[in-house]
Structure 1
């Protein structure tokens, strides 16, 4: 019988997600190895791991992207598995191959699945062949601006130019006519090349009133793919998420079922194994949906699925990596409502990063409140990394109960004197655009334009 979990796990990440993984590993009696650049030496996750190893690099981010160094640390520390978390090398097929080549367990999907879903053009082709709806036609990336104009005419305006290797909202441009396509095509290619090492771009129809809905999946070694409900991630600034909730409000039961089936079909199309998320763009008016992308890792917003299904997704990741299957008796059942708010070190009006010292730090607690954080008082937010400070998660038997807990939790969080987006989050939970549900990806712009002097 296979060992149900790895014996010693290297966490190839930092901050909040490293703490999150370490917490589950400790409960399962799995030893953990933390890696840290010297700028992170005082972060809580380092002390909470069983072992800690310093990684070096002239630039702190570069240290967490150094595949050779991290694999060497994993081997030298006696780890038998590596969990990449999210960001950094989590969706790097080369890292996955290097981990496996070193004889270690990779806690994630196969390198081939990462590669297939990492290239947006290849991903669209693969899922379209499996019957998953996409926007526009399948095929190769655009060869030149004239082809882009022809395809835009076929799709119908407005369209969005997107980087084939993109992510995080980078390399996305809206074009409402042929002149805009011609004007933006080369610029988008340049952004794609600079950001992702590839200038390949493609087109999708732009949905004016869109909802960003995603489905959590778990792929098993025998080819089974389990779907654990959907999350609404439409509260975004600059195409990056701020608030997520589960389940998504206002979806017709048939649409909810089709989303689940499309997600499992997409995962099966690449032989997906371990935890992943399939993202869709849903027309808020018609509820028609198209495939957006697949994230081949644990998501930042995974707690809302955990809260509404009574599961630990990191535990299931470790089990699938070690045995090919979920833990015995795994039987998720959706109930209640959960919302996650991303607390970030950024100003609450323009949402620009705002690093600085943390002198006050107090987290809320109580029934239905969960905080996943990466910091504490006495530390500082550096400009080297993402601005995420903590995830404030709430659960209630109804959405109204979850909103009440959200107000309590947001009011009970203190972080200063650095500027955070907490004032925006507090305002959002009382805005009718949010409390009524059914909002689309334009909600942040609507709220901020109505309160431009928020501090």
Structure 2
């Protein structure tokens, strides 16, 4: 590596903060012989302290931050960077949710000389936009479902673009994929076709917001306005509904040396209100040879954009036809990552930490073990686009317990 990290700010709370500290401490004990080799600083609100939150007790020190909604604390980039600087940390671990996908955080930390344990700001920014992410996926040769950026017709080659010097998609190409008015949406829908139905999506939406299904022009006109009002100012795009689709994920990790590994994947098809309920791995519904193609496509995308850190490439998979289509690349660790840890034996928060230290993926012992290397502490390179990891011999299922109406118990 090229950057010793001895003190980490955990810019998250709850399960994310608890899991990260436990995982990185376990790695420190197993590899360095000292579980306290890395010091952890927690951010705690008055509510966290009152609840005697587990992550606060696990951390070496904590800093009290403003209470209330997360924009006051864990999602507030100014608060996070101020605490990081005052505490003299070497790196910041963002977790998931809160500020984990806000490009301002890695950009500001870079200016301060503090390592962000995640992808570079410009890459995060472009991936955070579903339209730009689809264009980048098409450029990397990843299959896309017919959408407003590629209707799938013979004279409609998929929109393609390389990142410019600012780390963004050129505006003229980006605009070709958007629907800026009801009229443009109607025209795009005619090209896509209503046979399977159409999803109207706000590129900055998520968590069930800014998304509608329609199967005729009249409903499309109304739904477009609804999406527009739900995620104000967001570009909007259309995509064909992939019927009977499974939601399949590939866990990827990229390093600073241009390597990208796919650590198997997960089937997250069981959802309610667009929120995952069950996650399982490996995704046995996908034939092994097809899943390997999905992994390789995810790796090519990761490498082509200079992605660093852990991320998830999400696909829609049709079990009847065997076709798969790119959905998005989430530029962070996901809640369901323990499924991948269970099937691959790879400690993901510690892998994030080692990548942030500048260690090549092929030098990380758990990854070398996954690839069947006898010397797990060796330094000989692994060609992750050619070599295969050892067969997975277990199955893991995770279930989420969610409170839809907490006020009603």
Aligned to 1:35: 43
CA contact (8 A) 2:137 2:301 kept: yes
Query: For structure 2, which runs of at least 5 residues remain unmatched after alignment?
Result: 29-36, 151-158, 160-175, 371-389
**Cα distance change of structure 1 residues 355 and 287 upon mapping to structure 2, 3 Å threshold:** farther
Aligned to 2:8: 9
Alpha-carbon distance in structure 2 between the residues aligned to 1:202 and 1:152: 10
CA contact (8 A) 1:130 1:265 kept: yes
Aligned to 1:414: none
Alpha-carbon distance in structure 1 between the residues aligned to 2:265 and 2:356: 23
Most deviating of 97-106 and 14-23? 97-106
Alpha-carbon distance in structure 2 between the residues aligned to 1:14 and 1:62: 13
1:221 to 223, 237, 256: 256
Aligned to 1:174: 213
2:179 to 121, 128, 142: 142
Aligned to 2:406: 354
CA contact (8 A) 1:39 1:60 kept: no
CA contact (8 A) 2:266 2:279 kept: yes
SS state of the match for residue 343, structure 1?
coil
Alpha-carbon distance in structure 1 between the residues aligned to 2:67 and 2:48: 13
CA contact (8 A) 2:23 2:350 kept: yes
Alpha-carbon distance in structure 1 between the residues aligned to 2:307 and 2:359: 11
Aligned to 2:243: 208
* Pairwise CA distance, 1:100: 1.4
Aligned to 1:23: 22
What is the aligned length?
346
CA contact (8 A) 1:55 1:70 kept: no
Alpha-carbon distance in structure 1 between the residues aligned to 2:178 and 2:359: 35
Give the TM-score of the pair, scaled to structure 1: 0.73
**Cα distance change of structure 1 residues 256 and 58 upon mapping to structure 2, 3 Å threshold:** closer
2:399 to 341, 348, 351: 341
Aligned to 1:437: none
Structural mapping, 1:68-217, within 5 Å: 68-135=78-145, 136=147, 137=150, 138=159, 139-157=176-194, 158-193=197-232, 198-217=233-252
**Cα distance change of structure 1 residues 25 and 249 upon mapping to structure 2, 3 Å threshold:** closer
Would you identify which runs of 4 or more consecutive aligned residues in structure 1 move more than 6 Å? none
Query: For structure 1, which runs of at least 5 residues remain unmatched after alignment?
Result: 347-351, 357-418, 420-455
CA contact (8 A) 1:216 1:230 kept: yes
Alpha-carbon distance in structure 2 between the residues aligned to 1:101 and 1:60: 24
1:234 to 269, 273, 277: 269
Aligned to 1:62: 72
Aligned to 1:305: 340
CA contact (8 A) 2:46 2:67 kept: no
* Pairwise CA distance, 1:199: 2.5
CA contact (8 A) 1:190 1:199 kept: no
Give the TM-score of the pair, scaled to structure 2: 0.81
Alpha-carbon distance in structure 2 between the residues aligned to 1:2 and 1:208: 47
Quote the RMSD (CA, aligned, Å): 1.6
**Cα distance change of structure 1 residues 199 and 323 upon mapping to structure 2, 3 Å threshold:** closer
Aligned to 2:326: 291
CA contact (8 A) 2:75 2:98 kept: yes
Return the structure number with greater strand share: 1
Aligned to 1:52: 62
Alpha-carbon distance in structure 1 between the residues aligned to 2:305 and 2:208: 24
Residue 247 (str. 1) matches residue 257 (str. 2)? no
* Pairwise CA distance, 1:58: 5.0
* Pairwise CA distance, 1:116: 1.1
**Cα distance change of structure 1 residues 52 and 237 upon mapping to structure 2, 3 Å threshold:** same
